[in-house]
Amino acid sequence: MSPTSLRIRLLGELSLAYGATLVTGISTGRAQALLAYLVLQRHAPQPRQRLAFQLWVDSTDTQARTNLRKELSYLRRALPEVDKFLLVDAKTLQWHPNARFTLDVAEFEQALGAAEQGTNPALVRSALEQALELYQGDLLPRCEDDWLLPERERLQQLRIRALAQLMDLLETQRDYRAAIDRAQQLLRIDPLNEAAYCSLMRLQMLSGNRANALQIYHRCMTILREELGVEPSSSTRKLYEQVLNQEVEQSAARPFAQLLTHPLPTLPNIRPKSPLLPLIGRDHEWLSIRQWLLSMTNDVASEVLLLVGEPGIGKTRLLEELQQTMHAANGHVLWGRGFAAELVRPYGVWIDALRSLTLRGSIKLPSDLGFLLPELGHSSSLPPDRGQLFDLVVQFLTRLCADGIPVAIILDDIQWIDEASSALLHYATRLLGHLPVLFACATRPRELEDNAAILRVVQALRRERRLQTIELHPLAREHTAELIRYVNPGNHLGLSQEQIADLVFIDSGGNPLFALEVARVLSQQETHSSDNLDALIRDRLQQLNESARELVPWAAALGRSFKPTTVAQVADCSLTKLLTAIEHLEQQNIIRPSVSLDGEMGYDFAHDIVRQVAYRQLSEPRRRLMHRQIAHQLNQADTPSQALASDIAHHASLGGDHTLAASASLAAAERSLKLFAYAEAAELAQRGIQHCQALEGRTRIELHLGLLRIGAIAGVTQERATQLENEVHRLISQANALGLKDEEATGLEILMILRFSNSDFASVHQNSLRVAEASRTASPVTAARMLASGGSCLAEIGREMTRAEALLLEAQSLAARVGLAIIDIPCGLGCVQRHQAHYTEARDLLQQAWRLAQAQQDHWRECTCLTYLAMTELEADDPAAALPYCQEMATVAAKMNGEGSEAVFATALKALASYVLQQPGAEAALKQAIAMLRQVDAKRMLSYVLIGAAQTDLASDRLKLATIRAEAALQAAQTVNHFSEIALAWALFIQATLALGDRQRATTCFEALRRTINCQALSAQARARFDQVMQLMQATVTH
Amino acid sequence: MIHVVIECEYETPFDKKTWYEADLRLLPCLEAYGVKWLRSQISVDGRRTICEFEAPDTEVVRTAYRKTGVPFKRAWIAEVLEPSGDLKAWLEKPHASLEGDLTASMGEI
């Protein structure tokens, strides 16, 4: 295992970390200055006398030397393993030349050096961004020593130069939004930089913000006059005049609406230039995507776009086209991708997608997402449950699209995304459907079938008709030929263009990736003998230069997009050498820039097939060694948030390091639990347990029990719980035999968790508060119950029905994991269906809930289900079918303890049904029921019954009574703020008033209703009634 | 908004942990229904509690109790009298009896 490294930061406040531990002892200003001096002057021994003089300029020589001894002694105590870092003798001090450490100042200069030498714009950008990210503040800002000031000034100038360089580069890349951010950043630190004002003016103009550009000129003029007493230079004034006359070239960026209303055939003209190949042979698919984009401007909820096709068929290319279109419209794009190696990384694809937003430098992610993105600062308060975690992401996306800015969430290779990511995707698609937020995904068809979690989401979206699938087929011959003509492979075989096209088409079968590989070979060799894609890619990898060939296996073994610094670390090569190799690989189209990772430009293979081929080339023993080394290096670099634990577990497992694999699995599973990613936690625990079999003694028992504990909290079915209990009893005996008290206690805790998880919610109190607390925050059983309770509360009172349904479906998915049946779920979903007037579906769900309640002998819920069933029949115009439910409800209510309203509800609904059916004596029974509802003070039910009665009165021409009942219903509904019943009662009152001939009053009431009402929040029944009244009122006006 | 009182009785003295756990289940549900918990009084023998809420109606409080499995004896609407209040004015004011309201409204609807 590699020795631990010391990380020193001098830019901003001084900070030291040794491995994952913060070094906090160096707190005095002089000790910090001494450390900084030694580190910055590390290349030569420093005489004690000079040091003492530099650090204590006002002291006598003797006093200064005494002070130095004292501070040195502090430093020696504070630094871990001090002899590895300090060389001390009688006359000199020196930072150890072989010390294993990193220094932000050195990394900053190294990144600037890489940017200086780089020729590839993407690499230069990445290096500059990395340098600026490292510059967290001025060099030791609180130290005012004379020796330090020139160095601080030098670094400040380097930073300003880097900012200006990056700003120019971004402008040439037409990333104006990011360039503007950098220009503003530059002006904040250097407010007299006239050149920066000019750049900012030009950038604002290029982004179409002429007014902003003019304002910037005035700001520049004012500050130069006030601070320096000079006027802007002639070139700045000239630019100002150009802006006034609108002479600066307009950019490709246009408002989204304008982009969409642009006629389709001209769309390519307004897309920015790009290094991508043109979109060939996909006109039909792109047209469908354009039409799908247009749905964002409609009122209807948008559909999720799913591109389906074999590897290499062009899914990613279409997603990139969509990304460019969104950027050209100044929209936001979140781009994430699934990786085969990452099925247990909770929210992996979302983490990458959120980070991708920062790649363009324009968005700052809020710190409340810190639980997903540790680089935002450690989030002290995790969301209390999975629903609230999802809500934080949804709320961020909602804020992102404020002011109508379109947002596209693009997720590639979703066949490899984890369960938690799938659940969040489903949740977000539901809640953001009516906002300008679009979801576009791509998948391989066969692999999708193997990922149950995402398959469920896709099936649900399809069932709900919220999925637009586009299947990508191989290119036609003429399109393959067009693609080949574009790359112009050259001709060593003496064949005509047509013959080459035929050859490529036959060999590739119209698969664009395959076709390009065949064409590439034809351009380099006189013959090509390979008839499969793998062989062609293998040949291409063989032709790379040496440094690139060294890098490829490491990148392939990492299994996902990678940061150059990570590869440098695991492959133990210098960053400069690595950046050269990356540049070569990028030129050869083996890798390409990917999402930003921890503020650093990430890279990924140009296609996953390339990664697979590179990986398959490695021999089994070499793979194992590489994975083992990666695991160990990542283990060194992991932070206290243990964000890398699942990666470490993955690589340790493939590297055959069972102890590290088991312990990292445990850490990763614990992290998954904190993020309510139960499936991932359970899977990681299971994998860790497999590694425990190879361990011995206390380590085995400790890790095995720890992993079983996570498995138990993550939730198990009753059947599995019994097996687990046996396993735990066996381990407890072993722990007991070895005298391992702590492990024995863990075993007992697992038994309690298992019993708690499979007990009834109402009997929580029988368990200790400690277990209840532990499980409350983590167990899917409790999480499912909480989500179900929250969702059904909303559904039953007819509020936020989209959110209610999303919560209930999420509860359903969690409950299914542990084989749990929760009455609130079908009951709440039944209410959602009833709200939408889907009575058949509502009946099925409510009956299912009723059967569950009967089985669980939950009488109150039995009554609730029966109430909703009776209401469903009344609303479906079948009052006779409501009567048996009322009868059953009365029977169940009689069995209940305490003073409840259930019997009254039964009587009231029965009276209403009889009244609608015009049965003898119904009128008196109804009056009596209304009085009883008032007595128990149940305003929602009172309003419901009064509305039902008023509808019957209106239909039977008892108009006066209808107005009285509707008005009373309105009053009750307003008290409990029930939107749909308010609208229904109000509409009935207007109808009855109109029928009585009081047009003026009806008109006044209708105007008031129209001002108050929010049609989106109404039930289908209330909306229908409102529409009916609106037509009546319009007819009244016409006549 | 009205003032709702919930009375609970227990066969055996309850323990504080149980009560706390019941609260954890109950309060989010009450909040969803627009109910505000005002205060609770607990008999020293641990056999009776009275909880007061501000709510749109009694039924929502009852529903929240039922839904979260917290048992109760009865629920009623209350008027609050304070020593600092004007008791004389209260005496002279007609009592806001539900019975009176009922009699009046039953005739109409």
Cβ–Cβ contact A773 with B under 8 A: no
Q: Which residues of A touch B67 (CB under 8 A)?
A: 789, 792-793, 824, 860
B-chain residue closest to A962, CA distance: B109
CA distance B59 to B64: 9
**Which of B18, B24, B98 is facing A934, going by the closest CB pair?**
B98
**In B, which residues are within 8 Å of A391 by CB distance?**
none
Give the pLDDT score at A340: 86
Asked if B101 reaches chain A (Cβ–Cβ under 8 Å), the answer is yes
Ordered DSSP codes for A107-127: HHHHHHHHHHH--SHHHHHHH
- CB atoms A938 and B34 under 8 Å: no
User: Rounded to 5 degrees, what angle do the CA atoms A729, A735, A740 make?
Assistant: 140
User: How near does any CA of chain A get to the CA of B21, in Å?
Assistant: 7
Q: Quick one: pLDDT at residue B102?
A: 42
CA distance A382 to chain B (A): 18
* Nearest residue in A to B98, CA atom: A935
Closest residue to A939, CB basis, from B56, B102, B108: B56
Helix crossing, A939-955 with A922-936: angle to 10°?
160
CB contact under 8 A, B67 and A761: no
- For A438, phi then psi, to 5°, come to -115, 145
- Tell me whether A975 touches chain B (CB under 8 Å): yes
Compute the Cα dihedral for A707, A713, A719, A725 and give only its sign. Answer: positive
Q: Is residue A803 within 8 angstroms of chain B, CB to CB?
A: no
DSSP state of A44: S
Cβ of A937 within 8 Å of Cβ of B109? The answer is no
Indicate yes or no: CB of A946 within 8 angstroms of CB of B2: no
> Which residue among B59, B66, B73 sits closest to A937, beta carbon to beta carbon?
B59
Query: Helix crossing, A48-55 with A61-78: angle to 10°?
Result: 100
- Residue segments in chain A with a per-residue pLDDT below the cut of 50: 1, 247-274, 759-777
Give the pLDDT score at A689: 95
Residue A742's Cβ-side half-sphere holds a number of Cα atoms within 13 Å equal to 6
- The residue of chain A with its CA nearest to that of B34 is A976
Q: Helix-strand-coil percent breakdown of chain B, rounded to 5?
A: 40, 25, 35
Query: What residues of chain A lie within 8 A of the CB of B10, using their CB?
Result: none
Check B62 against A860: CB less than 8 A apart. no
Closest by CA to A522, choosing from A508, A509, A542, is A508
How near does any CA of chain A get to the CA of B106, in Å? Answer: 6
Residues on chain B touching A941 (C-beta within 8 angstroms): 59
Residues in a beta bridge with B88: none
Inter-chain touch B67–A772, beta carbons under 8 Å: no
Nearest CA in chain B to A926: B109
The closest CB to that of A765, out of B17, B72, B74, belongs to: B17
> What are the tokens at A99?
């010390």
Round to the nearest angstrom and report the end-to-end CA distance of chain B.
24
A932 forms beta bridges with none
Residue pair A67/A84 in contact by the 8 Å Cβ criterion: no
Q: Is A774 on the interface with B (CB under 8 A)?
A: no
CA atoms within 13 A on the CB side of A674: 17
Please, what sign has the CA dihedral across residues A934, A935, A937, A938? negative
Both tokens of A767, joined, read 């368990």
Amino acid at A431: L
* A938/B75 Cβ within 8 A: no
pLDDT at A260: 43
Q: Which of B34, B58, B106 sits opposite A977 (nearest CB)?
A: B34
pLDDT at A258: 43
CB pairs < 8 Å spanning A and B: 94
Residue A15 phi, psi dihedral angles, 5° rounding:
-145, 145
Closest partner residue to A762 (CB to CB) among B20, B69, B98 is B69
pLDDT of residue A272: 33
Residues A624-647: pLDDT tens digits?
999 999 999 888 877 766 778 999
Burial class (CB in 10 A: 0-12, 13-18, 19+), A614: buried
- Residue A852 is predicted with a pLDDT of 95
Helices A658-674 and A620-637: angle between axes, nearest 10 degrees: 50
Confidence of residue B99 (pLDDT cuts 50, 70, 90): very low
Nearest to B109 among A930, A975, A977 (CB): A930
Asked if A945 and B109 touch (Cβ cutoff 8 Å), the reply is no
For residue A66, give the H/E element and its range.
helix A61-78
What is the value of ipTM here, to two decimals? 0.82
Q: Is B62 on the interface with A (CB under 8 A)?
A: yes
**How many angstroms from the chain centroid is the CA of residue A799?**
26
**Other beta carbons within 10 Å of A405:** 14
Is B26 part of the contact surface with chain A (CB cutoff 8 Å)?
Answer: no
Nearest residue in chain B measured CA to CA from A782? B25
CB A873 within 8 A of CB A842: no
Burial class (CB in 10 A: 0-12, 13-18, 19+), A117: middle
Q: What is the 3-state secondary structure (H, E, C) of A170-234?
A: HHHCCCHHHHHHHHHHHHHHCCCCHHHHHHHHHHHHHCCCHHHHHHHHHHHHHHHHHHHCCCCCH
Only one residue has tokens 């021409």, namely A957
B85 touches A: beta carbon within 8 Å: no
Residue A431 to residue A805: CA distance in whole angstroms = 10
Helix A176-189 to helix A194-206 angle, to the nearest 10 degrees? 160
Rounded to 5°, the CA angle A512-A515-A517 comes to 115
- In this predicted structure, what is the pLDDT of residue A771? 40
CA distances from A416 to A608, A680, A1012 (A): 12, 13, 47
Separation between Cα atoms, residue A168 and residue A845, nearest integer Å? 61
Quote the radius of gyration of chain B (alpha carbons, Å).
16
Kindly determine whether residue B57 and residue A961, on different chains, have CB atoms separated by under 8 Å: no
Burial letters A781-809, b for 16+ CB under 10 A, else e: bbbbbbbbbbbbbbbbbbbbbbbbbbbbb
- How far is it, in rounded angstroms, from Cα A252 to Cα A263? 16
Between chains, do B105 and A931 touch, taking CB under 8 Å as contact? yes
- pLDDT per position as a tens digit, A18-70: 887 888 878 788 888 999 999 998 888 889 888 888 888 888 888 888 888 88
Task: Say whether A439 sits in a helix, a strand or coil.
Answer: strand
Structure letter (DSSP) for residue B8: E
Which of A859, A915, A937, A971 to probe by mutation at the B interface, max B CB count within 10 Å?
A937
Nearest to B60 among A761, A934, A976 (CB): A976
Q: Is B69 on the interface with A (CB under 8 A)?
A: yes
Nearest to A907 by CA among A926, A894, A921, A920: A926
Q: Indicate the residue of B22, B25, B73 with minimum beta-carbon distance to A899.
A: B73
The span from the CA of A679 to the CA of B21, in Å, is: 27
The answer to whether residue B93 neighbours chain A at the CB level (below 8 Å) is no
Q: Could you say which of A900, A937, A949 has the minimum Cβ distance to residue B77? A: A937
Q: Determine the Cα–Cα distance for residues A270 and A208; give it in Å rounded to an integer.
A: 14
What Å distances lie between residue A257 and A320, A325, A736, CA to CA? Answer: 20, 12, 71
- Torsion sign (Cα): A53, A55, A60, A61: negative
Residues 842-901, chain A: which have Cβ within 8 Å of B?
Answer: 860, 897-901
Q: Which of B2, B56, B68 sits opposite A977 (nearest CB)?
A: B56
In B, minimum Cα distance to A977 occurs at B56
Long-range contacts of A55-60 (CB under 8 A, 24+ apart): A55/A30, A55/A145, A56/A30, A57/A145, A57/A146
The distance of A430 to chain B (nearest Cα, Å) reads 21
Chain A residue numbers with beta carbons less than 8 Å from the beta carbon of B108 are 964, 968
Q: Do A901 and B59 touch (CB under 8 A)?
A: yes
Q: Are A595 and A545 in contact (CB under 8 A)?
A: no
Contact check, Cβ <8 Å, B62/A762: no
Interface contact B18, partner A, CB < 8 A: yes
Which residues in B lie closer than 8 A to residue A937 (C-beta atoms)? 2, 57-59, 77, 98
- Residue B81 touches partner A, C-beta closer than 8 Å: no
pLDDT at A773: 43
Of A797, A899, A965, the CB nearest to B109: A965
Say what the pLDDT of residue A712 is.
86
